[in-house]
Amino acid sequence: MKSIRSRLFMILMITTGVVWMSAIAWIYLSTRAEVERVLDARLIEAARMVSSLITSQEIDPKRAAQIPAVEPTMHASYDRQLSCQIWALDGTLVGRSDAAPATPLSDAQDGFSETLIGGETWRVYAVVNTDLGMRVLVGDNMRVRDRLVADVIRGLALPALLILPILAGLIWLSVRKGLGPLNNMAHALETRSASDLSALPDVDTPSEIKPVIRSLNGLFGRVHAARERERDFTAFAAHELRTPIAGLKTQAQVALGSEDPGIRANALRQIVVGVDRTSRLMRQLTDLTNAERGETDSDNHRVNLGKLASRLADDIRQHYPGAALLEIDEKLHDIDLDIDPSLFMLATRNLMENAVLHSRVESPVHCGMRLEGDGVALTIDDSGPGIPEDELPKVCERFYRGRNKTAMGSGLGLAIADLAAKRLGGSLSLKNRPEGGFRAELHLNAAPSSTTPRGEFRHNDGELSPLPVVADAKGDRLAHER
Amino acid sequence: MRVLVVEDDAVLMNGLQVGLGLAGFTVDAVSTCVDASAALRSSAFDAVVLDLMLPDGSGLDVLNELRGRAVGTPVLLLTARDSIPDRIAGLDAGADDYLGKPFDLNEVAARLRALTRRGNGGASACRIWRDLRLDPATMAVSKSGEGVRLSRREFSILHALMERPGQILSKSQLEDRLYGWQEDVESNTIEVHIHNLRQKLGPGVIETVRGVGYRLAEDSI
Residue A73 has pLDDT above 60, yes or no: no
CB A87 within 8 A of CB A105: no
B106–A403 C-beta distance less than 8 A: no
pLDDT at residue A80 in the model: 57
B100–A242 C-beta distance less than 8 A: yes
Residues of A in contact with B104 (CB under 8 A): 249, 253
pLDDT at residue A75 in the model: 47
Residue with more model confidence, A33 or B203: A33
Q: Quick check: B100 contacting A, CB < 8 Å? A: yes
Interface residue ranges in chain A relative to chain B, Cβ cutoff 8 Å: 239-240, 242-251, 253-254, 257-258, 263, 266-267, 270-271, 273-274, 277, 401-403, 405, 407
CA–CA gap between residue A384 and residue A436 (Å, rounded): 8
Give the model's confidence band at B122: pLDDT under 50 very low, under 70 low, under 90 confident, else very high. Answer: low
Residue with more model confidence, A236 or B206: B206
Q: What are the tens digits of pLDDT across the range A98-148? A: 777 777 777 777 888 888 877 778 888 888 888 778 888 888 888 888 888
CB A334 within 8 A of CB A441: no
Q: What are the tens digits of pLDDT across the range A308-353? A: 899 899 988 888 888 888 888 888 888 888 888 888 888 899 999 8
Residue with more model confidence, A47 or A229: A47
pLDDT at residue A478 in the model: 38
Residue of chain B whose alpha carbon sits nearest to that of A252: B15
Q: Percentage of chain A with pLDDT > 70?
A: 86
Q: Name the minimum distance, in Å, from the CA of A369 to any CA of chain B.
A: 32
Q: Name the minimum distance, in Å, from the CA of A253 to any CA of chain B.
A: 7
Q: Name the minimum distance, in Å, from the CA of B108 to any CA of chain A.
A: 10
pLDDT at residue A250 in the model: 93
CA–CA gap between residue A118 and residue A141 (Å, rounded): 11
Query: ipTM value of the model?
Result: 0.72
Note the helical H segments in chain B.
10-22, 33-42, 59-68, 84-92, 105-119, 152-163, 171-178, 189-201
Residue of chain B whose alpha carbon sits nearest to that of A273: B11
How many other CB atoms sit within 10 Å of the CB of residue B130? 13
Mean pLDDT in residue range A57-86: 58
pLDDT at residue A304 in the model: 87
pLDDT at residue A296 in the model: 47
Q: Which of B101, B112, B109 is nearest to B78 (CA)?
A: B101
Three-state secondary structure call for residue B8: coil
pLDDT at residue B39 in the model: 92
CA–CA gap between residue A393 and residue A217 (Å, rounded): 34
The number of C-beta contacts closer than 8 angstroms across A and B is 87
B55–A248 C-beta distance less than 8 A: no
Lowest mean pLDDT among A213-227, A302-316, B30-44, B168-182: B168-182
Q: Name the minimum distance, in Å, from the CA of B131 to any CA of chain A.
A: 31
Q: Quick check: B11 contacting A, CB < 8 Å? A: yes
Q: Quick check: B101 contacting A, CB < 8 Å? A: yes
Q: Which residues contact A266 (CB under 8 A, 6 or more apart)?
A: B14, B18
Residues of A in contact with B110 (CB under 8 A): none
Q: Which residue of B6, B7, B11, B27 is the best one to mutate when testing the A interface, meaning the one whose CB has the most A CBs within 10 A?
A: B11
Q: Name the minimum distance, in Å, from the CA of A398 to any CA of chain B.
A: 13
Q: What are the tens digits of pLDDT across the range A10-47? A: 999 899 889 988 988 898 899 889 988 988 898 888 88
Domains of chain B: 1-118 (3.40.50.2300), 125-214 (1.10.10.10)
What's the DSSP call for residue B218? P
Residues of B in contact with A245 (CB under 8 A): 101-102
Kindly report the backbone phi and psi dihedral angles of residue B194, in degrees, each rounded to the nearest multiple of 5, phi listed first. -60, -40
CB A478 within 8 A of CB A315: yes
Kindly report the backbone phi and psi dihedral angles of residue A351, in degrees, each rounded to the nearest multiple of 5, phi listed first. -65, -45
pLDDT at residue B38 in the model: 93
Residue A482 has pLDDT above 60, yes or no: no
Give the model's confidence band at A450: pLDDT under 50 very low, under 70 low, under 90 confident, else very high. Answer: low
Give the model's confidence band at A76: pLDDT under 50 very low, under 70 low, under 90 confident, else very high. Answer: very low
Residue A453 has pLDDT above 80, yes or no: no
pLDDT at residue A456 in the model: 40
* The residue count for chain B: 221
Q: Name the minimum distance, in Å, from the CA of B17 to any CA of chain A.
A: 10
Kindly report the backbone phi and psi dihedral angles of residue B213, in degrees, each rounded to the nearest multiple of 5, phi listed first. 170, -145
CA–CA gap between residue A277 and residue A240 (Å, rounded): 12
End-to-end CA, chain B: 28
Cβ-nearest to B55 among A258, A271, A403: A403
B22–A258 C-beta distance less than 8 A: yes
Q: What are the tens digits of pLDDT across the range A139-180? A: 888 888 888 888 888 888 888 888 888 988 998 999 888 888
Residues of A in contact with B78 (CB under 8 A): 246
pLDDT at residue A156 in the model: 82
Specify which of A97-106, A425-434, B175-184 reaches the highest per-range mean pLDDT.
A425-434
pLDDT at residue A269 in the model: 92
Residue B166 has pLDDT above 60, yes or no: yes
What is the helix (H) or strand (E) element at residue B207, kind and residue range? Answer: strand B206-209
* Beta strands at B26-30 and B2-6: parallel, antiparallel or unpaired: parallel
Q: Which residues contact B186 (CB under 8 A, 6 or more apart)?
A: B192
* The residue count for chain A: 482
